[in-house]
Structure 1
Amino acid sequence: MNSNSSLLSIGKFELKFKHLLIIGILSLSFSISFLIRSQPAGFGWELNEFDPFFNYRATQYIVDNGINAYFEWNDDLSWYPIGRDVSETSQVMLHLTAAVTYWMFGGGGNLYDFTILFPVVFGSLTAIVIFALVRIIGGTTAGLFASLLYSISLPIIIRGQIGWFKSEPLGLFFGTLAIYLFLSGIKSKNNKIAIGKLIFAGIFFIFSLSAWGGDQFFIVPIGIFLLTLPFLRTDHKFLMWAIPLFTSSSIFTSLAFERLGTHFIMGLGGLSLIIPTIFLIICIIIQKKSKENTKNRNGLFFLAAILIIGSTFLMINAEANFIPLPSHRYLNAINPFLTTTDPLVDSVSEHATTTIAQSFLFHSILMIFAGLGIWLILKNSKKSTLIKNDMISFSLILGLTGVYVSSAFVRLEVFASFSIIILSSLGLSLLTKEIFVHKTEINKLKNIAIKSPFVIGLIILLALPLIFPAQGNTLSVTNNPPTILNGGSAYQISTTDWNDSLAWIKNNTPKDSVIAAWWDYGYWIQTKADRATLADNSTVHTSRIQNIAKMLLNTLDNAWNSLNEMQSDYVLIFVAGQRLTVDNNGSEPLYVLSGGGDESKKQWFMRIADEPLAKYLYSDGISGTDYFWNETLLGQMIPFTPLAYVNFQTDQQSATYQPGFTAVYSKDIKFPADGNGPLRLVYSSPSFDVEKGGQVIGVFIYEVNKDYVPLN
């Protein structure tokens, strides 16, 4: 059947076979994305990671109290006793969108369940939006390839699985929609349609920024793209009003959000749109006033002057701060060499610097097709019927900037994936046209012999990342338990330790209790235990986090004084490890730690507290010294004590630390519930008593002994 064969006529619209094919492929893309993203549900029905718990609580606040109350809300469970201005420090559009869609489609069901599914739905819908975007750039075939590639992209799926009620899924959805509307608007031949698309492009662009600050990095390619338009297009009258309309729409919409507003307009983000827009207008005027043979040269001179002045201003601003700079992690993305300068940023696993091995794991086969795409785009650049010059420019700019910013953080690999998907799709589309469309004087049998291996080989190459390598393919990497079920430990198990511990806090502590814990666990405690914490995952008060780190590494008396100064009633720590299959003397359980709990984060506590690591750790950077175990509050709170050191490769044992040896621990509760020390252990989670060979996902809750009398 011919793809243009008409199947059904409805008025002037004819439903053709190719329309069914497009609908079928888009449905397949949505379904594949949905199923892969839903894998963690097999371990348990929970929100995933840390931030989603606050986002759920903020959405619940809107549902219960209304939108107006949300914008007046100071969260008194956060950063006790300071609190937190939620609308000024949060992803407002994420909360509003979730609440509105819940009112529309929730049917009065459980909001917690709704937010668990929310990222899967919007993440999968983006597969359809990216089809529309790439279709604008390179045609329907390229769009369909993009949709399929997006549905199996490992970096994107990791940041949008079931329960991942965080910024990225909605931010990417709005951001992709905004770019589609922008490119569609400037390509439109109908000015009325162009006006509508450009206005909504600006609106959705700001929506994306409000949902996810990482969408700042879409500004970079758009800003650079605007600089190229006077040289790539001749419809200057259209550009003179279309681009300012888009920029104005973005600027005015940003004023509706406290977190953006004037800070965005006068910061690097807003100026990255405003300055290229002003340049475009002036450059077009210069070109209009110039002679035909000198207009491009004069425009390039003006561009060079702007770049020199802009670079000089940025260097001066780095010292003088005329305009507000982005936060440190955004500066890291702009300049990857800053990565190791802030221990708090570096302590977050998703802020780790991307390695070459990770890039190949994430993108593998797509890197080949992206390179092929760049080559074919440039090779066919003079064939205006394929891809217009301005779309070629945008694709290449997006590709280069996406790969660049992703080199700073693993988290930003979504931008590399996004840009590589677009380039790969264009490459595959052009390659497919080369093989299938061009007429050649060969018989039917030879035609099949050429095309069939191409199709089979293409399917194999695209399916390969789904199944290979065995422990590093897309399906296996994305099949992990929600974080609260394993505490974010290194063990791929599902336990009730954290849920039981949080339920214990909620049911057994006074409602006005204040919990001291490392900031990783703040949102869990606030949301599931309904108790105030000293710090949480928003990290808006870094000095408080530093004080908590110092408290954990301080001597017992000084730490007790710090806890009282911070008005803490309880202290929570998390320890992950594994019980060995043999016991000491046949009855004493033995354990190895370093499973991803506080025992594995202590080196970051030391860096954040600006303490010398050698004072607390041996040369391996993991094993605690005698001073750590005997003199620090954290060492005393961990209910284990090093018993010996073992080299598991040679079965050698040592009573003291030796390089290459691993500490083996026995249980040792230093602050019993009936003790007179500065703390009392009032709760330990179930896996503390795990059977031989089992994993410990240990949550330990200590009550601050207000009657303790320091010895000095």
Structure 2
Amino acid sequence: MCVTCFVLQVSAWGGYVFIINLIPLHVFVLLLMQRYSRRLYIAYSTFYIVGLVLSMQIPFVGFQPIRTSEHMAAAGVFALLQAYAFLQYLKDRLTRQEFQTLFFLGVSLAAGVVFLTVIYLTYTGYIAPWSGRFYSLWDTGYAKIHIPIIASVSEHQPTTWVSFFFDLHILVCTFPAGLWFCIKNINDERVFVALYAISAVYFAGVMVRLMLTLTPVVCMLSAIAFSSVFEHYLGDDLKRENPPAEDSSDEDDKRNQGNLYDKAGKVRKHVSEQDRPEEGLGPNIRSIVTMLMLMLLMMFAVHCTWVTSNAYSSPSVVLASYNHDGSRNILDDFREAYYWLRQNTDEHARVMSWWDYGYQIAGMANRTTLVDNNTWNNSHIALVGKAMSSNESAAYEIMKSLDVDYVLIIFGGVIGYSGDDINKFLWMVRIAEGEHPKDIRESDYFTPQGEFRVDKAGSPTLLNCLMYKMSYYRFGEMQLDFRTPPGFDRTRNAEIGNKDIRLKHLEEAFTSEHWLVRIYRVKKQENRQTLDHKLRNIAAKQKYTSKKTAKRKRGHIKNKLALKKGKKLNKKSV
């Protein structure tokens, strides 16, 4: 069952690497805790061998389980477990002193051989080194410096406390209690749960997307915490409903009620004292705690229903906003723009946009994009970022080399949409700077005080770059509110610094209803069009002239033959 679940996860998500490292960690900790058993040996050996073979049958994975560093921990623990099992086999055939010496040398030798083998294979290139995503899990600043495209994804940002409470609600508080109950009564299975919980908490704090790995163990341990509380406060009531059978000593006491002393020699309690119920806050406290637990669970259920319906059930293409009276507005700008692209552009047109919208353009507009969510070539994405970060003339040369017909951007200054391209712009600059450090420098887009501003105090490089011009073209003429001046950006809460924007090499082709999606057409070179037209005319003339000359030559030949035979001349050939 475990192998089946593992193979299904391998085929669905690259996060299976977390599982293939967590299970070996569990086995290694059990060995350190001296909890080795034959059951553990059989279970892990079967899991590793069968899971390895089946996972390699998936085309996308291939030989990664034996050729990447992320999988070497599982292989190392497998080899270590074989050596440990062999030493346990020799335990009954050696003396205690001989076994201790052999055990220490054998385990050390096995660990050293595995470690040196992995280093050698990595150095020779047979095993791929750790990937940038792995390094970014341990060093949160690694991706921003070395691989900015990884850090630019919102799902790879560190998780805030708001996200924890938004997704987990009261389970944030009950989860540590469940972990304590689990560690208090530790066994082999609970060692795995504890390791899973601790590692998942760390990784979920590093990346937002890894909340997916934390949620299952949080639900499990919170259930243990609630169950323990209910068992403690409701256990006495259950025992009262099912009282234990009376023994013979109690029957003897009832027969000899007149005696002042019982068989143990203690003063016998009066019957009224024995049957009298407990007084005080005991039952009240149990009722209060039980009601509080039930209220927390009810609030958790209501919160989960609200989060699922409002945050996780809406498509990203359709946005919703709410008015002051509670009514809802549907913003359909994305679908409107993609439909326009599909209906009004050539089927072979190329669209340049940031990679976030590549899949949507390809799927909904059926047009070719330069980069999308599956682009592995970092230099290609950097070239698009360089075009967006450069001035219009330099960007036009890049677009000509890429044969771009249209440029699509997302602009949220009208409606206050914070996920637009201006807010993502610095990541475009950083990615472009990584590949083109001589042409693009991040510091050029900040003010001398180190601020990123779109108003008059903004950097001249920013105010003249292609992304700024496409976003704010004609926006300086728009007054959104009588309380704000024309050209006021609601997302950045600032009046733009460059209102008189003129485009030389681009022309506006489409702007959606709420200005959320803007599409520009790349102008063709005039001299190139004239040259092409002249070449076509020259070719046509040469073709016509050559045909006419050949016809005349054939006519002259026919006339010469006619003169020899005494026939009339052909007037058309003269």
Match of 2:410 among 574, 587, 608: 574
* 2:44 counterpart of 1:243: yes
Over aligned residues, Cα RMSD in angstroms? 4.1
- Hey, what does 1:354 align to over in structure 2? 159
Match of 1:430 among 209, 217, 228: 228
Matches within 5 A, 1:99-118: none
Matches within 5 A, 1:322-337: 323-337=127-141
In 1, Cα distance between equivalents of 2:400 and 2:364 = 24
Alignment length (residue pairs): 466
Is this contact kept in 2: 1:680–1:702, CA < 8 A?
Answer: yes
- Hey, what does 1:405 align to over in structure 2? 203
SS, match of residue 415 in structure 1? helix
Match of 2:505 among 674, 678, 688: 678
In 1, Cα distance between equivalents of 2:501 and 2:125 = 51
Displacement, 1:654? 13
In 2, Cα distance between equivalents of 1:391 and 1:360 = 28
SS, match of residue 63 in structure 2? helix
In 1, Cα distance between equivalents of 2:169 and 2:111 = 35
In structure 2, do the counterparts of structure 1 residues 296 and 375 end up closer, same or farther at CA, with 3 Å as the change threshold?
A: farther
Greater mean deviation of Cα atoms: 427-436 or 519-528:
427-436
Matches within 5 A, 1:85-104: none
Residue identity over aligned pairs, in percent, reads 22
Match of 1:482 among 315, 325, 350: 315
Match of 2:352 among 516, 520, 526: 516
Is this contact kept in 1: 2:21–2:71, CA < 8 A?
Answer: no
SS, match of residue 283 in structure 1? helix
Displacement, 1:480? 7.0
Kindly provide the amino acid, as one letter, of the partner of residue 638 in structure 1: S
Match of 1:547 among 383, 393, 410: 383
* 2:498 counterpart of 1:662: no
TM-score, L = length of structure 1: 0.57
In structure 2, do the counterparts of structure 1 residues 266 and 626 end up closer, same or farther at CA, with 3 Å as the change threshold?
A: closer
Kindly provide the amino acid, as one letter, of the partner of residue 256 in structure 1: Q
In 2, Cα distance between equivalents of 1:550 and 1:487 = 33
SS, match of residue 57 in structure 2? coil
Kindly provide the amino acid, as one letter, of the partner of residue 444 in structure 2: K
**C-alpha offsets along residues 646-673 of structure 1, whole Å, 9 cap, x if unaligned?**
9x9xx9999999xx972258976734xx
- Hey, what does 2:429 align to over in structure 1? 606
In structure 2, do the counterparts of structure 1 residues 228 and 301 end up closer, same or farther at CA, with 3 Å as the change threshold?
A: farther
* 2:442 counterpart of 1:638: no
- Hey, what does 1:115 align to over in structure 2? none
In 2, Cα distance between equivalents of 1:655 and 1:578 = 9
Is this contact kept in 2: 1:333–1:407, CA < 8 A?
Answer: no
- Hey, what does 1:620 align to over in structure 2? 451
Match of 1:415 among 210, 213, 220: 213
SS, match of residue 194 in structure 2? helix
Matches within 5 A, 1:196-595: 201=3, 203-230=4-31, 236-290=37-91, 323-341=127-145, 342-381=147-186, 389-437=187-235, 439=239, 449=284, 451-465=286-300, 474=307, 478=311, 481-486=314-319, 494-578=330-414, 595=418
Matches within 5 A, 1:52-91: none
In 1, Cα distance between equivalents of 2:175 and 2:103 = 31
Is this contact kept in 2: 1:679–1:703, CA < 8 A?
Answer: yes
Displacement, 1:447? 7.8
Displacement, 1:283? 0.9
* 2:519 counterpart of 1:701: yes
Is this contact kept in 2: 1:251–1:270, CA < 8 A?
Answer: no
In 2, Cα distance between equivalents of 1:455 and 1:478 = 31
SS, match of residue 609 in structure 1? helix
In 1, Cα distance between equivalents of 2:220 and 2:519 = 49
Kindly provide the amino acid, as one letter, of the partner of residue 556 in structure 1: E
Kindly provide the amino acid, as one letter, of the partner of residue 297 in structure 2: L
Is this contact kept in 1: 2:226–2:293, CA < 8 A?
Answer: no
Kindly provide the amino acid, as one letter, of the partner of residue 706 in structure 1: K
SS, match of residue 494 in structure 1? strand
Greater mean deviation of Cα atoms: 477-486 or 318-327:
318-327
Is this contact kept in 1: 2:156–2:209, CA < 8 A?
Answer: yes
Displacement, 1:450? 5.0
Kindly provide the amino acid, as one letter, of the partner of residue 507 in structure 2: R
Kindly provide the amino acid, as one letter, of the partner of residue 278 in structure 1: A
Is this contact kept in 2: 1:287–1:296, CA < 8 A?
Answer: no
SS, match of residue 701 in structure 1? strand
In 2, Cα distance between equivalents of 1:204 and 1:290 = 36
Kindly provide the amino acid, as one letter, of the partner of residue 681 in structure 1: E
In 2, Cα distance between equivalents of 1:496 and 1:594 = 13
Displacement, 1:313? 7.7
Displacement, 1:290? 2.9
Kindly provide the amino acid, as one letter, of the partner of residue 615 in structure 1: D
Kindly provide the amino acid, as one letter, of the partner of residue 524 in structure 2: K
Displacement, 1:247? 1.1
Is this contact kept in 2: 1:377–1:427, CA < 8 A?
Answer: no
Q: Which runs of 5 or more structure 1 residues have no equivalent in the other structure?
A: 1-180, 183-200, 382-388, 580-592, 672-676, 689-696
Kindly provide the amino acid, as one letter, of the partner of residue 174 in structure 2: F
SS, match of residue 407 in structure 2? strand
- Hey, what does 2:562 align to over in structure 1? none
Is this contact kept in 2: 1:642–1:663, CA < 8 A?
Answer: no
SS, match of residue 258 in structure 1? coil
Kindly provide the amino acid, as one letter, of the partner of residue 289 in structure 2: F
Is this contact kept in 2: 1:639–1:668, CA < 8 A?
Answer: no
In 1, Cα distance between equivalents of 2:500 and 2:11 = 48
Displacement, 1:390? 0.8
In 2, Cα distance between equivalents of 1:616 and 1:418 = 43
Kindly provide the amino acid, as one letter, of the partner of residue 605 in structure 1: M
Q: Which runs of 5 or more structure 2 residues have no equivalent in the other structure?
A: 244-275, 322-327, 434-439, 529-574
Displacement, 1:332? 1.7
Displacement, 1:365? 2.7
Displacement, 1:436? 3.7
In 1, Cα distance between equivalents of 2:189 and 2:106 = 23
- Hey, what does 1:45 align to over in structure 2? none
Is this contact kept in 2: 1:570–1:702, CA < 8 A?
Answer: yes
Displacement, 1:216? 1.6
In structure 2, do the counterparts of structure 1 residues 313 and 478 end up closer, same or farther at CA, with 3 Å as the change threshold?
A: farther
In 1, Cα distance between equivalents of 2:402 and 2:168 = 47
In structure 2, do the counterparts of structure 1 residues 435 and 661 end up closer, same or farther at CA, with 3 Å as the change threshold?
A: closer
Is this contact kept in 2: 1:232–1:390, CA < 8 A?
Answer: no
- The structure with the larger Rg is 2
In 2, Cα distance between equivalents of 1:461 and 1:302 = 54
Greater mean deviation of Cα atoms: 247-256 or 620-629:
620-629
Kindly provide the amino acid, as one letter, of the partner of residue 595 in structure 1: S
**C-alpha offsets along residues 692-711 of structure 1, whole Å, 9 cap, x if unaligned?**
xxxxx2x121222122569x
In 2, Cα distance between equivalents of 1:545 and 1:700 = 20
In 2, Cα distance between equivalents of 1:531 and 1:421 = 43
Is this contact kept in 2: 1:571–1:702, CA < 8 A?
Answer: yes
- Hey, what does 1:597 align to over in structure 2? 420
Is this contact kept in 1: 2:472–2:501, CA < 8 A?
Answer: yes
